[in-house]
Copies of this chain bind each other. A is one copy, B any other.
Amino acid sequence: MCRWLAYTGEPLQPSTLILDPVHSVVAMSLNSPLGAEPVNGDGFGFAWYPEGAAHGAAPSRFRSIEPAWHDENLREISRAVRSPLFFTHVRAAGGPPIQQTNCHPFRYENWLFMHNGVISQFAQTKRDLALAVDPSLYPHIRGTTDSEVLFHLALTMGLADDPIKAVGDAIRMIESVGHAAGVKFPMQGTIAASDGETVWAFRYSSQGQSRTLFHSADIPTLREMYPDVERLATFGDHAQVVVSEPLNDLPGAFLEVPESTVAVLDRTGYHHEPFLDAAA
């Protein structure tokens, strides 16, 4: 229902990825060819770990209910800071309410979380899922989205200790509660989470037909492939993104993250591994 991007690598101005590419996230807010909806105009969020921040420091965040495409503050702020790891998200809501508390990324201590997709028939399972959230976390749920409940379930399941297991357990609980309520395919989506050091990006749906997800190719390799593309000089050797759809039309620059996979991006590079088996 949305589009998102996560960056990790050498610190840079986030506008380099949020505003400048031909298919930037801001451009996707108005027109995302691969999205479930072409328009993602129901607010946005941008959260960043500041350059030079201490290990474990909480990220900063800017969220707004306005469409991203003409937002002047997003332009200003994404140019004014530098960050080695940031998330940005443009929202396509299933319906009201359009409010800042429903804008991703969600944040808890040093963790960020965002989601593109849906917990199907959430109104039927919302109460049971909210009750499964740790009571100490319950009052931190401030919006009305399925995604925020999913985040708090993952926190409850131990996101800080074992992110892959915790997100998997949260999804399994959503599927279990959904199936009990007669929902055939309870979970859909792509998810990003970070502690400020590593980005975990999940692509999974109960039906095995998940929203699109791509990761960028290795920058040194891309520079060899495209010696004339000046823009590639902007990026450090460790720059990498995971994003709902390719930021440009350069063949080979963006590679699909497979179904039922978790991608892990950190200072050592990119790898992915199987994540839950929808058929299981």
Contact = CB atoms under 8 A, between A and B. Distances in A.
B67 A73 contact: no
Contact of A41 (B67, B130, B144): B67
Interface centre among A61, A93, A123 (most CB of B within 10 A): A61
Interface size for chain A: under 10, 10 to 19, 20 to 34, or 35 or more residues?
35 or more
Given A76-B60, A139-B126, A39 B30 contact: yes
B63 A73 contact: yes
A42 interface: yes
A197 B131 CA distance: 37
Contacts of A33: none
Contacts of A39: 30-31, 39, 41
Contacts of A72: 63, 96-97, 100
Given A99-B97, A144-B101, A65 B66 contact: yes
Given A42-B67, A77-B62, A127 B135 contact: yes
A6 to B, nearest CB: 18
A165 interface: no
A257 to B, nearest CB: 28
A70 B98 contact: yes
A97 B139 contact: no
A239 B42 CA distance: 34
Contact of A139 (B95, B96, B123): B123
A61 B72 CA distance: 9
A142 to B, nearest CB: 5
Contact of A81 (B64, B73, B80): B80
Contacts of A97: 72, 99-101, 142
26 contacts: A31-B39, A41-B67, A42-B67, A48-B80, A60-B76, A63-B73, A64-B73, A66-B66, A66-B98, A67-B67, A70-B95, A70-B96, A70-B98, A71-B96, A72-B100, A73-B73, A80-B81, A81-B81, A97-B99, A97-B100, A97-B142, A99-B99, A99-B100, A127-B135, A131-B131, A142-B144
Interface of A: 30-31, 38-39, 41-42, 48, 50, 60-67, 69-73, 76-77, 79-81, 93, 95-101, 123, 126-127, 130-131, 135, 138-139, 142, 144
